Amino acid sequence: MNNKPSQILIHIAGCGLFLLLPFLFSPDRHQGFFSVIKNPGYYSDLLRYVMMLLFFYLNYYFLIPGLYFSEKYLVYFLLVLVCFFIISYVPQLFDLNRGRRIPFPPHPINSIPGKQMPGERPGGDLFSMRQNIFLFLALFFFSLMLRISNRWRRVEKEKVDRELSYLKAQINPHFLFNTLNSIYALAINKSDDTAAAVVKLSGMMRYVLSDATLEYVPLEKEINYIRDYIELQELRFGESMQLDFTVKGELHSQKIAPLILIAFVENAFKYGVNAEEEAPISIAIHIFNAVLTMKVHNYKVKRDGDTDNQHGLGIANTKNRLELLYPSRHMLEIKNTERDFTVLLTLNL
């Protein structure tokens, strides 16, 4: 998330430091601040640096997006050259000392050969020209690289957003299909809990269609969504389901990507519940110091027509979303044996 006030402060600080350079490069700086500002040549240098700053922002906000990114390279570089000559020569018109300078002054009687006179630059105009070229090129390449880098990051973000939208589009039907199966089972058995299950489903769908469209949601809402899903499964399976579900830690003020945990819970119920078998399911979520740890364990039960490749469209999608949203902030370990299935997720919120 961009912090605009801090960015403005960084720009102000950077401009202020850059405008200190005329003072630092002044040959009179050792004689004090007032000696520098009394030198008329200081103001022409200051004007040149101000114009360089204006060129930096002109290049960054207008020339690069309007010409360079449009592949109008000839026009772009011609305008850059025009800007350089304007910056190099316009400030000289305001140099009040320049008209009184003698190009090749004779050595005064009391002068010492090789000694620098007050207000004189080491190297003279050649030094000043080299300095101008160096600073101009530095600002030019810095603005160009910064703009290209920002554009690349924006393109990458748009790519990630498109991929996440695609994955979410897959997750929602997957969730709806599983949940409707649960309610269908209740309806077939003419359970009195069918109406309560429909109400629970409506609340869950409201979360999926509203909050889950956001990039991040409060962690408490995500945990409540998991609770609702578990309660829906309890309505379906009743006493035949053996479940140990625990949540510990501080949920407030924490945020998480929506629907990033539910796939592991869904998988446990889909492949770990059978009324004819004892197959306990364990789901533990722990939050400490903005680090979430989730462990889901279920035993594999017999299912008609079950195959290995049926395991985990939701899990595959969740893996992809974790890589996109938490590329270096998560650890996911999955143990898939013939007897059981275990997921251990550590997530830096």
Strand, coil or helix: 306: coil
Nearest CA to 143 among 54, 230, 220?
54
Cα–Cα nearest to 182, from 129, 138, 241 = 241
CATH annotation of 155-348:
3.30.565.10
**How does DSSP classify residue 224?**
H
Tell me if 143 sits within 8 A of 60, measured CB to CB: yes
DSSP count for the chain of H helices, then E strands: 10, 7
Report DSSP state, residue 346.
E
The answer to whether the pTM exceeds 0.75 is: no
Q: Hey, which residues does 154 pair with through a beta bridge?
A: none
* C-alpha radius of gyration, the chain, whole number: 34
Q: What are phi and psi of 149, to 5 degrees?
A: -65, -45
Task: Note whether 251 and 219 are within 8 A (CB).
Answer: yes
For the chain, the straight-line distance linking the first and the last C-alpha, in angstroms and rounded, comes to 14
pLDDT of the chain along its 349 residues, tens only? 456 777 788 878 888 888 777 776 666 666 666 566 666 666 777 888 889 999 999 999 999 988 888 888 899 999 999 999 898 888 777 654 444 443 434 444 444 444 444 444 444 455 567 777 888 898 899 999 988 888 888 777 766 666 666 656 655 566 677 677 778 877 887 877 788 888 888 888 888 777 777 888 999 999 998 998 888 888 777 777 788 999 999 888 899 988 889 889 988 888 887 767 777 899 999 999 899 999 999 988 876 554 444 445 678 888 888 888 898 899 999 999 888 899 999 999 8
| Cα separation, 312 vs 323, whole angstroms | 17
Q: Which sequence spans correspond to the domains of the chain? A: 4-98+120-154, 155-348
Query: d(Cα 91, Cα 44) in Å, to the nearest integer?
Result: 5
Q: Is 190 left (phi over 0), alpha (psi -120 to 50) or beta?
A: left
